[in-house]
Structure 1
Amino acid sequence: MPMTHSRFDTRLGLTITLVVTAFLIGPVLLSVTAGLTKNYFVGLSSGLTLDWVTQVWDLYADTIWRSYGVALATLATTTLIGVPAAWVLTLFPGRLSRLLEELLTLPVAVPGLATALALIVSWGSVGWLRSSVLFIVIGHVLFTLPFMVRAVRAGMQGADLVVLDEAAATLGASRRQRFFDIIVPAARSGIVTGALTVVTLSIGEFNLTWLLHTPLTKTLPVGLADSYASMRLEVASAYTLVFLLMLLPLMVGLQWFAARTTRTGSITLGAST
């Protein structure tokens, strides 16, 4: 009898998983199909073509590379700021640390449009900054920094690095040595997890970017929205296909790197203990 219930639960769980997966992936597959069809309203009988993909690449290739540049710049900045910030919050817990962490997560709670408007009011009068990609990078850093800090801090707390830091200090290691030789390597799984989150959020961020961008600093999601609004359905769908082809390999690569880093870190930690 328990075996029957177990098989029923397994089949029910598998069925629910397949239904949810089909619900999520189905619209994406239909959109991709539309981008490869000569005439979507006629259907597949009209034939398949790569003309729409070529047209998207000719019109919007600059938005793709710009999005990659913004994501990498955002990742570099959040790493340089977020890792030390996470270590300080871990090293000095208390009310002040909790208050700082809450203030740090404020841009996540506030709508992206409100954050973008605040940046425009504060720095929009600086002409060179307002018309540069750096303005978008600043907005993305404000939006993604809390995710980096929380991921890295979770890794630091799980590894009990405060104890290791104190032990290294008693052996005469300087604060710089302790940070780069002990803290950063031990927290690398959290750093990689935060990096994965930052890159994917930055590439796909639209609300904040839409208000901060100019015609010369358009990113991939903004270009995607522009194609939906001004082009025929096949072009917009082809843009979705290009978006997936550019994003999925990056996500898979980062996931693989995160899994490998976590596994290597576990082996190293086990060997050291």
Structure 2
Amino acid sequence: MQRDAKFYAQLLLTIVLCLFIVVPVVMSALAGVTVNVFKGLSSGLTLRWIFQVWDLYAHSILLSVMIALACLVVTLVAGVPLAYVLVRRPGRLTRIFEELLTLPVAIPGLALALALLITYGGVSGYRSSWLFILTGHVLFTLPFMVRSVAAVMAAMDIKMLEEGAASLGAGFWRRFFTVIIPNAKPGILAGALMVVTLSIGEFNLTWMLHTPLTKTLPVGLADAYASMRLEVGSAYTLIFFVLIMPLLIAMQALAQRGKRPRKRTDTAEDTL
């Protein structure tokens, strides 16, 4: 197929934009393994900064991963049934509830954190726990899980699937877990990818809610750059990519796999 000048212009623009985004990331990663960040690679390579970051911030890095995974579990348990109810029982009340559910996304993270501090800040054990940060992350990411799952459920005929399964003797919970959930898998995987990504990278909300003992990865990264330790901050960024990128790539692969069309159409009888 012959390609015209417009195609090559678009290709060139895409490459330039990709380089504009990727080059700073690569330069930051290289700065984390150079002896002198101002001299660049000519000063030599070292793992000193990476070991220093791990010694100082290992707890923050592991805490961020733990909070992200816990947030994923909570949003799955709460978000998938909520999406089902919103799709299965449309009406004025569900629309009002859906709008209220998206409020944490519409308001600034600092405002949401301030509301949590005013409401629950007096509970000392809860305030100083990582569960306090988890609460804020769940409020912020839950709408993304619900919207992703609800979009997929709305595209399929839930009523027909449930009626077919019920005619074969399946109860509600069996219909939900063996018919609805498998068909909503693409939305669940896409929502899970967004939840993990947003939870790990959330800064504004976490900065207000954290304590010295519950400092997460983005807060520690901001502290490193604020202290003008560019090599430490760059090493922090490199560790972040090494730990997080494999997880995100794996989840993205699962999401893409779930979107592939099946060779044969599953029916309620096949599922049961």
What is the TM-score when the length of structure 2 is the normalising length?
Answer: 0.94
Q: Does 1:262 align with 2:259?
A: yes
Q: Following superposition of structure 1 onto structure 2, how do residues 1-273 of structure 1 map, counting pairs within 5 Å?
A: 3=2, 6-263=3-260, 266-267=261-262, 270-272=265-267
Report % sequence identity: 57
Task: Judge conservation of contact 1:90–1:157 (CA < 8 Å) in 2.
Answer: yes
The 3 A distance-change label for structure 1 pair 41 and 105 is: same
CA distance in 1, matches of 2:114, 2:42: 47
Range moving further from structure 2, 70-79 or 168-177: 168-177
Give the aligned length: 268
Name the amino acid aligned to 2:6. Answer: D
Per-residue Cα deviation, 1:171-222 (whole angstroms, up to 9, x for no partner): 4432212111211111111111111110111011111000000000011111
> RMSD of aligned C-alpha atoms?
1.6
Name the amino acid aligned to 1:117. Answer: L
Name the amino acid aligned to 2:120. Answer: W
In the TM superposition, residue 71 of structure 1 has moved relative to its aligned partner by 0.6
- What residue ranges of structure 1 are gaps of 5+ in the alignment? none
In the TM superposition, residue 170 of structure 1 has moved relative to its aligned partner by 4.2
Deviating beyond 4 angstroms after TM superposition, the runs of 4 or more aligned structure 1 residues are: none
SS in 2 for 1:215: coil
The 3 A distance-change label for structure 1 pair 271 and 87 is: closer
In the TM superposition, residue 39 of structure 1 has moved relative to its aligned partner by 0.7
In the TM superposition, residue 91 of structure 1 has moved relative to its aligned partner by 0.4
SS in 2 for 1:218: coil
Name the amino acid aligned to 1:118. Answer: A
Range moving further from structure 2, 243-252 or 135-144: 243-252
CA distance in 2, matches of 1:69, 1:261: 25
Range moving further from structure 2, 77-86 or 26-35: 26-35
In the TM superposition, residue 239 of structure 1 has moved relative to its aligned partner by 0.7
What is the TM-score when the length of structure 1 is the normalising length?
Answer: 0.94
CA distance in 2, matches of 1:189, 1:196: 11
Per-residue Cα deviation, 1:80-105 (whole angstroms, up to 9, x for no partner): 10000000000011222221111100
Name the amino acid aligned to 2:191. Answer: G
SS in 2 for 1:216: coil
In the TM superposition, residue 231 of structure 1 has moved relative to its aligned partner by 4.9
- What residue ranges of structure 2 are gaps of 5+ in the alignment? none
Name the amino acid aligned to 1:132. Answer: S
Task: Judge conservation of contact 1:148–1:195 (CA < 8 Å) in 2.
Answer: yes
Task: Judge conservation of contact 1:90–1:162 (CA < 8 Å) in 2.
Answer: no
Name the amino acid aligned to 1:257. Answer: L
Q: Would you tell me which structure has more helix in proportion to its own residues?
A: 1
In the TM superposition, residue 168 of structure 1 has moved relative to its aligned partner by 2.6
